[in-house]
Structure 1
Amino acid sequence: MARVLIPLAQGCEELEAVTVIDLLRRAGIEVVTAGLKDGAVTCSRGVVLVPDTLLEQVLDDDFDMLVLPGGLPGADYLNEDPRIIRLLQQMAQKQKYTAAICAAPKVLASAGLLHGRKATSYPGVLDALQLPDTRYQGDPVVVDGQVITSRGPGTAMDFALELIEKLVGRESRESVESGLVRA
């Protein structure tokens, strides 16, 4: 079974976090949510999430993918946490998937994972970093090798479905998507 780690920081975007958690679990993927600190996480719009565990307790666990929800100040807290940067770099070295949405692609940039890649983010987030060797795209979801990025809350469902496809295949993606009655 595929395993995915989703770190939850205070001020994360709840729509992105919950959509990814929900859809991946619908696909039979084991999702572990981990708080940066002990206790519940209050998201950017006041929704309170209770992580499965503390990040510290899963640092040495094996995951197939690391997904970073965006939102502010959540993405800033992820970006300032050396454990997250180290985990991203370790995942990249093992050629495992790293994914980020909204403001969180800047964390991938800080970890050095966007060099020479195509990526997207919430409008202006990556532009502000002035990354000359990152090719910014305006697409809802951008996949470049093992790095997957997305734009924001409105693209969270497309993002989660792409993650499902990468982890467990097109058939699982289609099965989950058909149950969502998107059209």
Structure 2
Amino acid sequence: MAKQKKAAVLIYPDFSNYEMSIAAAIFKNFEKEIVVFSAEKIPVDSEEGFHFIPDKTFEEFDIKEYDCLILPGMWCFPNVIEDERYIDFLRQFKGNKDITIGSISSSPILLAKAGVLEGRKYCVGLFEEDIDEYSFLNRNDIIKAPLVTDGNIITAFGSAYREFAIAVAQKLGFDCKEDWFSGIKKPIRPEDYTFYRIAEK
């Protein structure tokens, strides 16, 4: 059996850790290895205040080892889109339909600047004024919806981080149920909060 390919996660200053947390949990459940990339192998602070040390730099990325790329949103996106190291890294995915790309919240702006979203439909978590400011954001391609899938590219609003994770997992062929991580069920029933450890066969 061929070894499962890995998932690459791209991080940058003020990235939103919570927006990719469920995707990471699902990958862990299906034993999919995650490798975290950034421009430098130095601590990167998330918007929540956590400190992350990337596993590898862009120079160490070998696209043949990966079938998935995840981009979390970011609080201060203007700083990131002006850093050409991130844009140059993303340009290699333009026209590539073999790798699943999941981009949530404000992060599709990085893909748009890199040309990856040309001719694709997508959603993006930005203010209307921000969309007007950047000419590479084509309003004709932007869909006002919480989650948009166009071929191998999945985009979502930050508030749809659960649905985003499930859509990415299903695109990768994982048997991921629609109700995973769905939160509290109402009405409250004891049987919904009673669990048993099933012995392995």
Q: Which moved more, 1:120-129 or 1:39-48?
A: 120-129
Contact kept in structure 1, 2:9 and 2:37, CA below 8 Å: yes
> CA 1:164/1:77 → structure 2, altered by over 3 Å: closer, same or farther?
farther
Percentage of identical aligned residues:
24
Write out per-residue CA displacement over residues 28-78 of structure 1, whole angstroms, 9 at most, x where no aligned residue.
3221112322222211121222333333322565311211111122x4454
1:167 maps to what in 2? 172
Which of residues 140, 147, 150 is equivalent to 1:141?
A: 147
Query: RMSD across aligned C-alpha pairs, in angstroms?
Result: 2.5
> So what's the TM-score if we normalise by structure 2?
0.74
**Structure with higher RCO (Cα < 8 A, 6+ apart):** 1
Q: Tell me, yes or no, if structure 1 residue 180 matches structure 2 residue 181.
A: yes
Q: Tell me, yes or no, if structure 1 residue 100 matches structure 2 residue 103.
A: yes
Q: Which amino acid aligns with 1:136?
A: I
Contact kept in structure 2, 1:120 and 1:150, CA below 8 Å: yes
Question: Structure 1 CA distance, aligned partners of 2:61 and 2:80?
Answer: 16
Q: Which moved more, 1:120-129 or 1:96-105?
A: 120-129
Contact kept in structure 1, 2:93 and 2:116, CA below 8 Å: no
Contact kept in structure 1, 2:20 and 2:165, CA below 8 Å: no
Question: Structure 2 CA distance, aligned partners of 1:25 and 1:126?
Answer: 35
Displacement after TM superposition at 1:144 (Å): 0.7
Runs of 5+ unmatched residues, structure 2: 186-201
1:1-183 correspondence to structure 2 within 5 Å: 1-59=4-62, 62-73=65-76, 75-95=77-97, 96-124=99-127, 125-130=130-135, 131-132=137-138, 134-152=140-158, 154-169=159-174, 172-174=175-177, 180=181, 182=183, 183=185
Question: Structure 1 CA distance, aligned partners of 2:31 and 2:70?
Answer: 16
Contact kept in structure 2, 1:115 and 1:134, CA below 8 Å: no
Question: Structure 1 CA distance, aligned partners of 2:101 and 2:180?
Answer: 26
Contact kept in structure 2, 1:65 and 1:91, CA below 8 Å: no
> CA 1:159/1:110 → structure 2, altered by over 3 Å: closer, same or farther?
same
> So what's the TM-score if we normalise by structure 1?
0.81
Contact kept in structure 2, 1:24 and 1:164, CA below 8 Å: yes
Runs of 5+ unmatched residues, structure 1: none
Matched pairs, number: 177
Q: Which moved more, 1:118-127 or 1:142-151?
A: 118-127
> CA 1:97/1:44 → structure 2, altered by over 3 Å: closer, same or farther?
same
SS in 1 for 2:37: strand
